[in-house]
Structure 1
Amino acid sequence: MLEVYLFVNPLANQCVRDEQNVLRLANDSDKQIQFQFVPLLNINVIQRALKCQGIKTSDWHAQNEQSQTLYRVILDYKAALFQGKKRGRNFLIALQSAMLKAGQHYSEHLVKTVATDCQIDLDMFMEDRDSDLAKQAFHADQRLASEMNITEASSAVVFDCDQYDYGVLLEQFNYTTLFDLVNGNLDPFQDATRATNASCANLTNAQLHVL
């Protein structure tokens, strides 16, 4: 069995594409795959988000606003997950679509609408999103990221629980790279930072690190 942890900025388009790649992989691969989207919130995530919006990273007001919005989105996601992984994942994808594709601004009204559309118990959700349990889940995710030395979003860690006692950190990847790694077509001990090696032809700018 394989375990895939995808560390994401919930409000980054690249992370949405990475989520879609992981979902596609789970459908395409013959192997049993368990996956988890782990929201990441740190200064690197915030500054990269501001750069993508054309905002100066030295703008402290913008930094604080971005941080607060991401924090609220993450707590909402955690609250939705309490009602099941599938519903939680559907909630995240629907909220991302509303904000990133439809251009809607984060608000309590938007969150309630998305939760209702995803068939989430609204009363329970509204209570859970401000609960200590949701905050503890957030901090647990950040500890997990720290333990795996994750500092940037769009990072995936893959564990093959049946064969190896180590994980592989994959950064700046595409679907082909992820598929090849999961299906044993890449050797994580090789130098995967260069695409000049014939065995790494599909890696482009991806980087592999053994944890």
Structure 2
Amino acid sequence: MLEVYLFVNPLANQCVQDEKNVLRLANDSDKQIQFQFVPLLNINVIQRTLKNQGIQLNDWQEQNRQSQMLYRVILDYKAALFQGKKRGRNFLIAMQSAMLKAKQHYSEELVRDVAEACKIDLDMFMEDRDGQLAKQAFQADQRLASEMNITEASSAVVFDCDQYDYGVLLEHFNYATLADLVNGTLDPFHNVPRHAASCEAFQAAQLHVL
């Protein structure tokens, strides 16, 4: 069995493409693949977001606004995941479509509309998104990224659970690169030690996710 951790900026177009590549691979491959989209929030993610929007990196007010918005989107995603991985992924994809394609601004109304469209229990979701479990899940994701030495979004770590020494880190990959790695035709590089992140870490990353 293979495990894929995809570290994403939820509001970056490249990460949307990366998510599609992972979903496509999981559908195309004859191997059993478990995957986890892990939202990443750090200074690199924020600055890259500002740069992509043409905003000066020294605009501290805008940097803070972007940071808070990304944090809220991530908490919403974690809360949606509490109602099942499929609903959580659908919620994330729908939010990305609304904000990146339709250019809608983040708002409470948008979050509610997307949650309802994804058939998420709204009362439970609204309580969870402001609860401690969502915040703890966010913190667990950031610790996982730190253990794997991930600093940039659009990074994937692939583990073969039958091999206990290393996982492989891919940065800024495409579908062909990811497929070659999974099929064993790509030489490993940027190894991630399994003592830092193992199959047990994958299970811990999905804590509270049904």
Alignment-derived partner of residue 205 in structure 2 = none
Alignment-derived partner of residue 97 in structure 2 = 97
SS in 1 for 2:190: strand
Alignment-derived partner of residue 201 in structure 1 = none
Give the 5 Å matches for 1:158-173.
158-173=158-173
Aligned partner of 1:210: which letter? N
Alignment-derived partner of residue 197 in structure 2 = none
Distance 1:89 1:6 in 2: 13
Aligned partner of 2:94: which letter? A
SS in 2 for 1:20: helix
Compare CA radii of gyration and give the structure with the larger one.
1
Instruction: Indicate the larger mover: 156-165 or 122-131.
Output: 156-165
Distance 1:108 1:77 in 2: 14
Distance 1:57 1:85 in 2: 35
Please give the per-residue CA displacement for 1:62-99, whole angstroms capped at 9, x wherever unaligned.
10000000000000000000000000000000000000
Alignment-derived partner of residue 36 in structure 2 = 36
Larger RCO: Structure 1 or Structure 2 (Cα < 8 Å, ≥ 6 residues apart)? 2
Runs of 4+ residues deviating >4 angstroms: none
Alignment-derived partner of residue 13 in structure 2 = 13
Alignment-derived partner of residue 204 in structure 1 = none
Structure 1 residue 165 displacement after superposition: 2.4
Give the 5 Å matches for 1:68-147.
68-147=68-147
Structure 1 residue 11 displacement after superposition: 0.1
Alignment-derived partner of residue 201 in structure 2 = none
Structure 1 residue 164 displacement after superposition: 4.0
Identity value in percent: 85
Please give the per-residue CA displacement for 1:96-122, whole angstroms capped at 9, x wherever unaligned.
000000000000000000000000000
Aligned partner of 2:190: which letter? H
Please give the per-residue CA displacement for 1:119-172, whole angstroms capped at 9, x wherever unaligned.
000000000000000000000000000000000000000000013421100001
SS in 1 for 2:119: coil
Q: TM-score if structure 2 supplies the norm length?
A: 0.91
Alignment-derived partner of residue 150 in structure 1 = 150
Distance 1:102 1:162 in 2: 43
Distance 1:164 1:187 in 2: 17
Distance 1:163 1:127 in 2: 40
Identify unmatched segments of 5+ residues in structure 2: 193-210
Distance 1:210 1:33 in 2: 19
SS in 2 for 1:168: strand
SS in 1 for 2:151: coil
SS in 2 for 1:169: strand
Identify unmatched segments of 5+ residues in structure 1: 189-207
Instruction: Indicate the larger mover: 161-170 or 81-90.
Output: 161-170
Alignment-derived partner of residue 210 in structure 1 = 191
Q: TM-score if structure 1 supplies the norm length?
A: 0.90
